[in-house]
Amino acid sequence: MQYPTTDDWRSATVLGLSNRFGSGGQMIRFEYLAIFYGIIVGLALGNVASSVHMLLEAGKRVRWHWMAPLNAAGVTLATLGTFWAWWTGRTAADSPTIFLQLLPGSVASLLLYIICATTLPDAVPETGIDLREFYFSSRRRFWTLQVVYFTLRLFQVGLGIALSGFDPQVVGPVLPLLIGAGANILIAASLIYVRAPWWNGFCICLGFVGPLLVFGPMRV
């Protein structure tokens, strides 16, 4: 029995890429950008998974509270949902055509990593950690990042509308995105200043349920 050689695998790979991208090996703009966004999403989710593993390994040194873990779960769902929804715009008229239009979305994607990293502690001291105290000590940083993130998304969508010449075919589909981003900015801004546990808890629950309602039925 003859097994494939390295050259055979290399030829098969080249043939597969040729069939996928054409004889010229051309990669479309969406696929080119998807590599960057995919790396950022993978790093963000890996950070959350690493923090969860660390907390479980710490055992009794962790005083558990539901706010921080649920917040991390909500951000994880939102990150996955954002990446899922991005596929639906692969043929959209407002896809990036100039660097200035690409920049806000790229910075916002980098912020996703920082936001995910902010939801859970990076280390558990020998004296232990209280997750309730952790959430309230880091909430201002977390919600400020959320305000910046959704502001960048708002700018990105608005710039796409402006570059399209305010084409109704572009404005119509993205109008819910504008409204949603604006609502998220207002909610996150309130949480920077309001410490009330009931309001923080409600918004964290909303942040978990919201992505399921928005991205759950979405087909790509």
pLDDT number for residue 89: 63
**Could you tell me which residues come within 8 angstroms of residue 163 by beta carbon, excluding any fewer than 6 positions away?**
94, 97, 98, 101
pLDDT number for residue 94: 46
Please list the pLDDT of the chain residue by residue as tens digits (220 residues): 444 454 544 444 434 444 444 444 456 777 778 888 899 999 999 999 999 999 999 999 999 999 999 999 999 999 998 888 777 666 554 455 677 777 877 888 899 999 999 999 999 999 999 999 999 999 999 999 999 999 988 887 777 778 777 777 767 777 777 788 889 999 999 999 999 999 999 999 999 998 898 888 877 6
pLDDT number for residue 186: 95
CA dist., res. 133 & res. 6, Å (int): 55
Residue type, position 18, single letter = S
- Residues listed for the chain: 220
Domain extents in the chain: 28-215
- Residues 181 and 154: beta-carbon distance below 8 Å: yes
* Predicted model pTM: 0.81
- Residues 105 and 96: beta-carbon distance below 8 Å: yes
The token duo for 174 is 């993205």
CA dist., res. 106 & res. 33, Å (int): 9
